[in-house]
Structure 1
Amino acid sequence: MNTLVICSGGLDSVSLAHIVAAEHRLTRLVSFDYGQRHRKELDFAAAAAHRLGVPHHLIDMRTIGAALTGSALTDDIDVPDGHYAEETMRITVVPNRNAIMLAIGFGVAAANGDNAVATAVHGGDHFIYPDCRPAFTQAFDAMQRMALDGYADVRLFTPFVERTKADIVTEGARHGTPFAETWSCYKGGAVHCGRCGTCVERREAFHLADVEDPTTYADPDFWARAVAEKEER
């Protein structure tokens, strides 16, 4: 199956790229610059494409991202610290981001003769990000079959949509993903902050998967307190 991977440069999508390269036929990585404050992640996506020997398509969506206002990922709004929680992390939603990126991904796939578009959405994202939920991915897949009917047969591949980030770490490790060569932190500093929701989730996933975390965090111990506070709610 010739498969295009939507790759941000984060742990999830880079792991998926390595998994697809091992189990299918990875054709290309597609990334998006939507004006995200942590755009350094795109360097890690480019490095993954080079490492895996496939083209890297970087799509400039900055003008679109500028119109999707109100998110801490694109505007001058503080990224909240702590474990993912609906009341705090909703500010990190970029409206319709995945739907827009996937639509472009399907167009690129169809134009290049690919059979599938893979994205690393996973179960931990469901309650905050509506365009990561199984109902969305199923509906989007059906919509794209209609959009490309008679022109191309491209399917949406979401192997982790019902699984956890710890599962991604487990499978990524099994397929040799160089986790140190991935970027998750929403704050985009010199090193991972260790305090934002995605840093906490990243560190917790390594812990649950019983895989050594090679990431350098500015605050390496914060995650345990954040997880404990979430469990007390």
Structure 2
Amino acid sequence: MAKLKWNLLFSRIENSPVVYDLWLDKYMSMFSESDLPVLDLGCGSGNNTKYLDERGVKVISSDYSEAALGKVSKDVPTARIVLHDMRNPLPFSDGCTKCVIADLSLHYFPMELTRKILNEIDRILIPGGLFIFRVNSIHDKNYGAGVGKELEKNYFLHQGARKRFFDEETLDSIIDGRWETVNRLETEVNRYGKPKIAWEVALRKKC
């Protein structure tokens, strides 16, 4: 059901221009100088993929929506496209990427599965590699914070969709000793019709 919803959503915007914000600007100088690609995990319509491609970065764009990946392949033909469900182990070898970006794609899962996804991200990153992500904040009232049946702390089921809203304590619980925190702030995202409140986090994998 969820996959059908996402495919319908991305089919509707198939011919819409890709719009990105500049949240990744501050991290560009931190990327390893290696020629390894960046993984855009849960890439959606490809806004971050397009941003990176325009700056000469090799990108692997991964999503579980065929419609989303169809749009990405049309808008950014140089991107490597990988159809993948994040609930399963990542289909990449150990140490294959210098950076993983998960922009508003990590907050859909139970906590146990979220930790498994982070383990997979750690596995595919090179030592010193970056993991950069944004997730819903508990203050994201315009986009459903606190609405629906609470399945876990701040993890809600509403109209058939599951979403987690993060506070500092929850972030602390998933950032363990493998990571050095580069940046962490609660911020406003203005990519949508109404302001969205999200946590922006950048971690470096310890060598």
TM-score range, shorter chain: 0.3 to 0.5
Report the TM-score, using the length of structure 1 for normalisation: 0.37
Q: Which one scores higher on RCO, CA 8 angstroms, separation ≥ 6?
A: 1
Q: Which has the higher strand share?
A: 2
Larger Rg belongs to: 1
Q: TM-score, normalization: structure 2?
A: 0.40
